[in-house]
Amino acid sequence: AQSVTQPDIHITVSEGASLELRCNYSYGATPYLFWYVQSPGQGLQLLLKYFSGDTLVQGIKGFEAEFKRSQSSFNLRKPSVHWSDAAEYFCAVGARDTGRRALTFGSGTRLQVQP
């Protein structure tokens, strides 16, 4: 079974600073990988996804993520954080070879942005 680890529960950065949120996964083959963002009281919005091909994936709101097979990682990055990026971020892995087709989520990283 697949699993996802987000080692940072909470991160605080200053507005304009760069950001990297860590995500490590466990899966026997090449997975589908996703990053979602959840603003307070809201549902989850897809930021980006990796399926195959280029390991650097561009998403919405200026985010990108890099799939590193050797490290089983899919870290999310943004070069300059805006106050509106304050939210909770979830990494998720999807299995290619199961009938269930559901996602396994990490426990989330809460991002706080200081002015």
Closest of 95, 24, 94, 87 to residue 60, by C-alpha? 87
* Neighbouring-strand partners of residue 109: 89
Q: Which tokens sit at 33?
A: 């990988």
Q: Does 17 bind another protein (CB under 8 A)?
A: no
Closest of 108, 111, 105 to residue 25, by C-alpha? 105
* Neighbouring-strand partners of residue 13: 113
Note whether 5 and 57 are within 8 A (CB): no
Q: Does 63 bind another protein (CB under 8 A)?
A: no
Q: Does 22 bind another protein (CB under 8 A)?
A: no
Q: Does 44 bind another protein (CB under 8 A)?
A: yes
Which member of 87, 106, 111, 113 binds another protein (CB under 8 A)? 106
Which member of 78, 108, 111, 113 binds another protein (CB under 8 A)? 108
Q: Does 76 bind another protein (CB under 8 A)?
A: no
Q: Does 9 bind another protein (CB under 8 A)?
A: yes
State the nearest-atom distance from the C-beta of 44 to another protein, in Å: 4
Q: Which tokens sit at 22?
A: 């860590």
Residue with tokens 């909770």, as numbered in its chain: 88
Site residue total, another protein (CB under 8 A): 24
Site residues (vs another protein, CB under 8 A): 4, 9, 32, 34, 36, 42-46, 49, 51, 90, 94, 99-108
